[in-house]
């Protein structure tokens, strides 16, 4: 049976957040944002080990006490210029420390998606366990879509049929993901599935709820705080 590993890229600067502190360290429900996704993976009985990929210059991680997760957590200071590069470096570094098999599953998850639930995680794993390629959590597009010119005037309305918003985790076999990322010319893609698609494969979309959104702008953090508060009251 293949093992399941989580890899959390957290080497970005959060430019769109407009904050001095990289967004993965902004406080959410009393913890740095990255704590929440780390906890969800560490507490999942299906996940064997969790790899965190930080920037080589990261000064923040060590300011916190991570002992509670120490039996499952490995931290690598090997982040790159882009998310894809961070994931690629993380996969290589992880294989230098652990006996990862080519057919083991890697679940790549943004540090900036703190609201992933245990239920959503196990649904992804269970739905893709027998899949030849793998896939990701995603949400069918709800809003009407407009295509514009550079002047922000509508050129046309796009059909939203069969359009999805990609989330993470994105789950692929170790060897296939490594090869896919190795083949992407600029490593400028913004998710892992794009690399797999570039090899001609068709990853599965696993229907999820929109609450697993990515914290990108300041208002996203405020909404995440509210959702966490509400969950903690249930």
Q: Using CB under 6 A, list all residues that contact ligand CTP.
A: 9-16, 24, 53, 79-83, 86, 110-112, 214, 216
Looking at the Cβ atoms of 49 and 83, the one nearer to ligand CTP is 83
31 in Cβ contact with 24 (< 8 Å): no
Looking at the Cβ atoms of 36 and 83, the one nearer to ligand CTP is 83
What torsion, rounded to 10 degrees, do the Cα atoms 133, 72, 44, 165 define?
-50
> Minimal CA–CA distance to 136: which of 159, 102, 103, 113?
113
Distance of CA 130 to the CA centre of its chain: 21
125 in Cβ contact with 36 (< 8 Å): no
Six token digits for residue 185: 């010319």
Looking at the Cβ atoms of 12 and 32, the one nearer to ligand CTP is 12
Q: How near is the Cβ of 42 to ligand CTP at its closest, in Å?
A: 17
Q: How near is the Cβ of 51 to ligand CTP at its closest, in Å?
A: 12
Q: How near is the Cβ of 234 to ligand CTP at its closest, in Å?
A: 27
First-residue to last-residue Cα distance in the chain: 36
Q: What angle do CA 44, 45, 49 make, to 5 degrees?
A: 75
Q: How near is the Cβ of 181 to ligand CTP at its closest, in Å?
A: 13
Q: What are phi and psi of 127, to 5 degrees?
A: -70, -25
Rounded Cα gap, residues 88 and 80, in angstroms = 9
Looking at the Cβ atoms of 82 and 167, the one nearer to ligand CTP is 82
Q: How near is the Cβ of 183 to ligand CTP at its closest, in Å?
A: 19
Looking at the Cβ atoms of 79 and 203, the one nearer to ligand CTP is 79
Q: Residue number with the shortest CB distance to ligand CTP?
A: 12
Q: How near is the Cβ of 137 to ligand CTP at its closest, in Å?
A: 14
Cβ of 77: how many Cβ atoms within 10 Å?
A: 15
Looking at the Cβ atoms of 104 and 110, the one nearer to ligand CTP is 110
């Amino acid at each position: 049976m293949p093992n399941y590993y989580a890899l959390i890229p957290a080497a970005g600067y959060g430019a769109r957040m407009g904050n001095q502190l990289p967004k993965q360290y902004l406080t959410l429900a009393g913890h740095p944002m990255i704590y929440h996704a780390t906890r969800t993976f560490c507490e999942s009985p299906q996940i064997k080990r969790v790899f965190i990929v930080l920037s080589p210059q990261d000064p923040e991680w060590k300011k916190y006490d991570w002992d509670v997760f120490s039996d499952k957590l490995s931290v690598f200071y090997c982040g790159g210029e882009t998310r894809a590069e961070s994931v690629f470096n993380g996969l290589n570094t992880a294989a230098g420390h652990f006996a990862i098999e080519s057919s083991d599953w890697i679940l790549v998850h943004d540090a900036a998606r703190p609201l992933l639930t245990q239920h959503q995680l196990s649904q992804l794993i269970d739905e893709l366990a027998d899949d030849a390629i793998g896939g990701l959590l995603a949400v069918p597009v709800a809003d009407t879509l407009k295509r514009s010119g550079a002047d922000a005037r509508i050129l046309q309305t796009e059909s939203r049929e069969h359009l999805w918003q990609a989330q993470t985790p994105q789950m692929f076999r170790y060897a296939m993901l490594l090869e896919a990322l190795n083949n992407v010319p600029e490593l400028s893609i913004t998710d892992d599935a794009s690399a797999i698609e570039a090899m001609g494969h068709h990853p599965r979309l696993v229907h999820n709820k929109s609450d697993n959104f990515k914290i990108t702008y300041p208002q996203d953090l405020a909404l995440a705080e509210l959702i966490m508060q509400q969950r903690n009251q249930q």
